[in-house]
Amino acid sequence: MEALYVVTVVALILSAIFNKQKTIKGLKIAWKKFSKILSSYIKLLILISIVLLLTDKFIIQYLGGSSQGIGLLMGLVLGSITIMPGFIAYPLAGVLVEKGVSYMVITAFITTLMMVGVVTYPVEKEYLGTKATILRNVASLIIALIIALTAGLLYGEGF
Amino acid sequence: MSKKNKLDYTIFIIFSTFVILSFVLKFDQGIQVGKNFMLFAWDMIKILPPAFILIGLFEVWVKRETIEKNFGHTSGLKKYIWSILLAATTVGGTFVAFPVAHSLYQKGANFSAIFTYVSAASLLMIPMTIMEASILGLKFTLIRLGVSLPLVVFSAILLGNYLEKIKYDLPTKE
């Protein structure tokens, strides 16, 4: 995070030294783009804050308490509709391992958590368009399934 | 302000009212929603302004030819390597990757490159990957990345070819 600020400040200073007009134009573009998309980000935040009501307990219960097949499915679904920062997701995954949840199910959950964004839809569709957004997320879901099955295989878990 | 923006802000006002009322009436779930919102909002407030400033500078300084040469049709397999490297260093994951991808495309990157970039950005943030390896083991991380990255590139190529065939265009944003 600090790196982002360092890079931005250095870039701004260099840019201003080389060409003031261009820098101002760049800042104007930045502001225009930001103010146009801000409302979509707010919508995204609202969705996230509601989805996060799904508590750790709920997730542990649903991923842990069922057969491999259902666990896999639940992992894919819960991961797709949820979004959480890594510093929450990975410790949660650690707990799941301790509870004896299979790596296949955990992989399904973690991968879709990162790759499939149902709640990021409001922002993604503004930039990539509805069609590309849906296709990209479907492709990601399929990839997540393949990764989960591979993990299951490589960890020697029965199906 | 556009119609869509007005609607979004109306939703936001209703949402805020709900959260404030939850605090007053001690409605636990509403309070939790409010706290979640603040947690993520704070993250975005920190990340988005510098990210958009960099995007603005990118648009005025980077030449179209540079992007075409490295992320466009003429660049062959190189563009996927660039896309993945750029993704690994994108702070903020997909939240930042979406607008960056859009700007790259406007400068001449092709579809398969930007889809590789967006998907890779969600998969491999370096600090998160280190945390993952320390909690779930290096084997887990290697399986996840080793299987996913080739598939991401492969699916981006398929998707890119399809979108080009139907002459798809990204929504324009100024």
| B40 and B124 together in one domain | no
What is the span of the domain harbouring residue B173? 62-174
Are B112 and B76 contained in the same domain? yes
Indicate which of B46, B59, B114, B135 best probes the interface with A, i.e. most A CBs within 10 Å of its own CB. B135
What Rg do the C-alpha atoms of chain A give, in angstroms? 20
Residues B97 and B32 in one domain: no
Three-state SS at A40? helix
DSSP state of B75: G
Mean pLDDT taken over chain B: 91
Task: Give the nearest partner residue to A143 out of B40, B148, B174, using CB atoms.
Answer: B148
The string of pLDDT tens digits covering residues B63-112 is 999 999 989 988 788 999 999 999 988 888 888 999 999 999 999 999 99
Q: Which residues of A touch B11 (CB under 8 A)?
A: 43, 46
Q: What share of chain B in percent tops pLDDT 70?
A: 98
A20 close contact with B: CB closer than 8 A: no
CA distance B90 to B104: 14
DSSP string, B3-51: HHHHHHHHHHHHHHHHHHHHHHHT-HHHHHHHHHHHHHHHHHHHHHHHH
> Could you say which DSSP state residue B106 is in?
H
How far does B148 lie from chain A, in Å, by closest CA? Answer: 7
For residue B47, give the nearest of A4, A106, A151 by CB distance: A4
What single DSSP character describes residue B170? P
Contacts of B59 (CB under 8 A, 6+ apart): A26, A29, B103, B106, B107
For chain B, how many structural domains are there in total? Answer: 2
Whether residues B110 and B149 share a domain: the answer is: yes
Residues B36 and B117 in one domain: no
Measured between CB atoms, does B29 come within 8 Å of chain A?
A: yes
More confident residue, B173 or B156: B156
**Confidence class for position B173, pLDDT limits 50, 70, 90:** low
Measured between alpha carbons, how far is A74 from B36 in angstroms, rounded to an integer? 23
Can you give the pTM of this predicted structure?
A: 0.90
> Do the Cβ atoms of A115 and A75 come closer than 8 Å?
no
Interface test with B, best of A29, A47, A116, A142 (most B CBs within 10 A): A29
